[in-house]
Structure 1
Amino acid sequence: MQNKRVLVFLAKAFETMEFSVFIDIFGWARVDYGHHLLVDTCGFTEKVISTFNVPVLVDKTIGEINVDEYDALAIPGGFGEFGFYEEVYDERFLELIREFNTKGKIIATVCTGALPLGKSGILKNRKATTYHLDNGYRQKELEKFGVIVVNESIVVDGNIITSYCPETAPNVAFELLKMLTSEKEMEVIKKAMGF
């Protein structure tokens, strides 16, 4: 069985809850169920500070990434107050997003992780969602990028998965797992984890 690799991109001020689901769910799939699913973490720097000041050491920095080595990109959301958009709107990251999309690879985002997809241009005239509880402020921001905003918890449009708040994080990871394995396999792991 061939390995499949997921790249989880951690921008400054990412939310730890939205990040950890990819590590745990794919860890369960690999360790307990024999799926050859590997996860690499990535950031602009070797140590990335999350929204609530938890430092995480990443496996690779953005300059080391070869998109051809990955099957999917996962992007947790984060807080603007702590500098999230400084990094996710950086042209180097937007270019990485475009390359994943051009090569038809899956891109899964949680909450505000959808906004750099919008800024990159890959969501133009496509359906997506993002954080919805601030009077729709973030959804309006996403709409400005030419996105067809759908106010649903998870929106899948082709190779793109978007969602609207931290509560959706596990379901985004399960959706990505389903796309990389099968619905049947995903349901087995989901049940084993008590969901």
Structure 2
Amino acid sequence: MKKIAVFLFEGAELFEIASFTDIFGWNNIVGLKEFRDIKVETISYKEEIKCTWGGVLKAEKLVTENNLEEIFSYDALVIPGGFGGANFFKDKENEIFKKLVKHFYENNKIIVAICTAVINLIETREIKNKKVTTYLLDNKRYFNQLKKFDVIPEEKEIIVDENLFTCSGPANALDLSLLILEKMTSKENVEIVKKNMFLK
């Protein structure tokens, strides 16, 4: 079984989380039989978070120093973005998060950062010499922050640099979830899932 950890910061956007839970949930029902074993699990440094637009989401797994090794066995780490006004950047220095990023990056595992989550990812200072993007609107204030780090900022909606996937907005979360599904399964399987979900 392959496993994807979706790391929840306070203030994360539910749409960006749901893009992964739904695509892979559908995959496990309608995808090709040999690929129906990919588990998506929400994890966090706290038991529950309040989402950007309201609503409380309980993490399926609380991550602590005691169970970090278990999360290290996962195949992908997904970080949904959120709004600063909803405290999304408040806990970006979280040590658990830093250790997860370090492990996934050093072991060349899949890392996905959506929209503003790229800021939290890059601020760990673990990601170096990689092409990245982030939210491009709002006078490019998020994108301009990338220039302070050892990365290669590019003004594109989606960037794939080996196993690092970054994007510029919530709509791209759906595109990235399909890209990760293809990477973990096959193009044919993605088309089956899309057809069953009425995705064009």
Same-fold call, TM cutoff 0.5 = yes
> Does structure 2 retain, via aligned residues, the 8 Å contact 1:110–1:168?
yes
1:86 is paired with a residue of what secondary structure?
coil
Q: Distance in 2 between matches of 1:9 and 1:145?
A: 22
Matched with 2:5 is 7
Matched with 2:61 is 60
Choose which of 156, 171, 174 in structure 2 pairs with 1:167.
171
- 1:81 aligned onto 2:48: no
> Does structure 2 retain, via aligned residues, the 8 Å contact 1:87–1:93?
no
Matched with 1:43 is 44
Q: CA deviation at 1:110?
A: 1.1
Q: CA deviation at 1:72?
A: 0.3
The sequence identity of aligned pairs, in percent, is: 34
> Does structure 2 retain, via aligned residues, the 8 Å contact 1:67–1:100?
no
1:46-195 mapped onto 2 (5 Å cutoff): 46-63=47-64, 64-65=67-68, 66-195=70-199
Normalising by structure 2, we get a TM-score of 0.91
RMSD between aligned residues: 1.4
Change (3 A) 1:52 1:188: same
Q: CA deviation at 1:91?
A: 2.8
Q: CA deviation at 1:126?
A: 0.9
Structure 1: runs of 5+ lacking an equivalent: none
Matched with 1:19 is 17
Aligned partner letter, 2:16: E
Q: Distance in 1 between matches of 2:188 and 2:121?
A: 29
Q: Deviation digits for residues 153-174 of structure 1, max 9, x if unmatched?
A: 1100011100001111100111
Normalising by structure 1, we get a TM-score of 0.93
Q: Distance in 2 between matches of 1:109 and 1:191?
A: 26
Size of the aligned set, in residue pairs, is: 193
Q: Distance in 2 between matches of 1:32 and 1:22?
A: 15
Aligned partner letter, 1:144: K
Q: CA deviation at 1:17?
A: 0.7
2:5 is paired with a residue of what secondary structure?
strand
Q: Distance in 1 between matches of 2:149 and 2:138?
A: 18
